Structure 1
């Protein structure tokens, strides 16, 4: 008689919400994050690398800190165990990175960006350009192949790939930060405890989580790419574009993750990491404050300059050693298609600014239009606080 084959039952695959829970808990073991929203966000970001090809954008992840030794490198080290095809590096030319991405898939884990970008982001423009363009799936960089004898051929290399960047505050170009989710890490307090990191042990512990994450995400990649997740109130434009892949994964996971992911989205987009406004945006905001407080739709330039200089915690009394004057005011506002005109106000005829659109100068649309385009909408509560 032929012995009956023994069938060994296989364990059913874990549901998505359990896999993400395990990824979140693994991430949280090794870092003291500044917020409860960090570990869930990182778990979702790591998960998206396994389906990046199905998304239109891949949000940049920025790990910043005011001082060295704040745990940025550790977050990247942990990311190696949960992301698809991680490539951890601390330098590299744009040409090398382009070739690595073109041969992908790859997840770029770029440490010590201080060595790549000068303070304020004025450094390696080729790398900056590649990271900016590579945020969207359709991006390519043309390269010429061949020689004068055999002829030249233009080769279009894809540069779309997930990228996490770690560096000190101020070392990241603004053009990258606007495409990113930023975690501002801090030095760990003496009473904050984390697990010691040993690479081989971490790799062993992460292996089943990584395998489950990869199997689950790659199996629903097309579904994720077609998803149109609902955004929290106030999250729109580029912020919505950045968070769409992560919210799509959270919705597919189920359980608490749709709510957890949206709470993290609100935290990072609306509650934390608000960028310092440009001088022009601050000027528009301060002007709106002045005009609203005065309850008027017009104000002469001399009055505006005097009031701006008197504002607390504003730069207008000292702009690189000189106070704001009418010429600088006009120059700053001209970028927003706002120009002064002459009108009579409080018995005085002089140049100034108005909030409404004007007929005399076709391109002069008034301050209200610039406020609507460049400043967040004021609500009743905001006005009540003035």
Structure 2
């Protein structure tokens, strides 16, 4: 079903009601947030129809920005909501597997204050939770656990596929989760921004008929949603397309203004969004490209000193120390980049790095960074490392 659909279905009015209900009790930073959350809530009523259940994250720089309220509102409208703050990984996958055992849709997990978990020093329990949230993003995902006593131990597969909404302070969420999510950046309300007082009993009474009608409508089109292949806005592909497929499918099924509204939101969150914060490795690749400035070779010593001199870079104070040749080599090694003794442009041999060649920067720059318009394409920069590679006497591929 394409974005051209304009004839509204009963679902269009229901999604409008959900959006209005959310806006009655919460202030969002822009017009795209409440409709996106409405679509996400709707998808929980047919999550098994989709290959992917996107995560939705509410983050803010400071407490008191309405993140918990958004989870509470969603829990009044979603399928089988489970609100939690500090649930263990074992408790979560047992909740999810209990629904699967009864051949029911998975519950919708609303997880508050996750920054308190992922903001701590990495621990096995934290990594287990991160792995569950990542794996449970795709239908059919399971985790293996042993059950029984030592004399009768059995391995059981626990399903972990389930919709998850997360809330926490910004900056502590693992990138492996944020790339599987739509993130709504909440802010404290400005003096002129008003919401209606939230009394849970009253809000629950208001939400109940909307939730019932939404569940009925989404359930009635579950088979249609399973076959949907919604058209993505230009520039939305790979992981972001996975994240938005369920939401756009529901918008197309609703009709009316929703196909256009959903794709406008998709472009806002994906195409027009601020670039994600670079990992330390990708930032190093970008800064090294700045230092190279189109040159083919740079001495290790020059590269290290130039990195330290870059303004607003972490290389002067990387975990309390300045970057040195050893740290540089360690950070570049996963990208296949290594230094070697080679002839420099002034004709003298020195230890350094090359832009091209099998152990040079070019391949990593191409894969992990956008094109650099300031560097002209020359015979040196355009040629692929594979075409320039030869095998030296030690069996190590390097540039000719």
Give TM-score, length-normalised by structure 1. Answer: 0.85
CA change 1:319–1:242 in 2 (3 A) is same
- Partners in 2 of 1:383 and 1:21 — Cα distance? 49
The partner residue of 2:78 within 83, 88, 95 is 83
Partner residue, 1:131: 133
SS at structure 2 position matched to 1:167: strand
The partner residue of 1:28 within 16, 23, 29 is 23
- Partners in 2 of 1:333 and 1:147 — Cα distance? 47
Q: CA deviation at 1:160?
A: 0.8
- Partners in 1 of 2:145 and 2:18 — Cα distance? 39
Contact in 2 for aligned 1:23/1:43 (Cα 8 Å)? yes
Pairwise mapping of residues 212-227 of structure 1 onto structure 2 (< 5 A)?
Answer: 212-227=213-228
Partner residue, 1:300: 299
- Partners in 1 of 2:303 and 2:228 — Cα distance? 49
Q: CA deviation at 1:130?
A: 2.0
Partner residue, 1:322: 321
Give TM-score, length-normalised by structure 2. Answer: 0.83
CA change 1:349–1:147 in 2 (3 A) is closer
- Partners in 2 of 1:270 and 1:289 — Cα distance? 25
Q: CA deviation at 1:263?
A: 2.2
CA change 1:227–1:309 in 2 (3 A) is same
- Partners in 2 of 1:147 and 1:327 — Cα distance? 49
Partner deviation per Cα, 1:245-287 (whole Å, 9 max, x = no partner): 1122122222222222222222222433643211111011122
- Partners in 2 of 1:165 and 1:133 — Cα distance? 15
The partner residue of 1:63 within 58, 77, 90 is 58
Structure 2 residue 91 is matched with structure 1 residue 92? no
SS at structure 2 position matched to 1:231: coil
Unmatched runs of 5 consecutive residues or more in structure 2: 1-7, 100-105, 377-400
CA change 1:321–1:109 in 2 (3 A) is closer
SS at structure 2 position matched to 1:45: helix
Q: What is the count of residue pairs matched by the alignment?
A: 361
The partner residue of 1:16 within 11, 16, 29 is 11
Q: CA deviation at 1:383?
A: 7.2
Unmatched runs of 5 consecutive residues or more in structure 1: 1-12, 359-363
- Partners in 2 of 1:312 and 1:188 — Cα distance? 34
Structure 2 residue 377 is matched with structure 1 residue 375? no
Partner residue, 1:347: 347
Contact in 2 for aligned 1:59/1:243 (Cα 8 Å)? yes
CA change 1:121–1:245 in 2 (3 A) is farther
Aligned residues: CA RMSD: 2.4
SS at structure 2 position matched to 1:350: strand
Partner residue, 2:392: none
SS at structure 1 position matched to 2:316: coil
- Partners in 2 of 1:334 and 1:202 — Cα distance? 55
- Partners in 1 of 2:346 and 2:371 — Cα distance? 30
SS at structure 1 position matched to 2:315: coil
Contact in 1 for aligned 2:230/2:252 (Cα 8 Å)? yes
CA change 1:154–1:320 in 2 (3 A) is closer
SS at structure 1 position matched to 2:290: helix
Partner residue, 1:288: 289
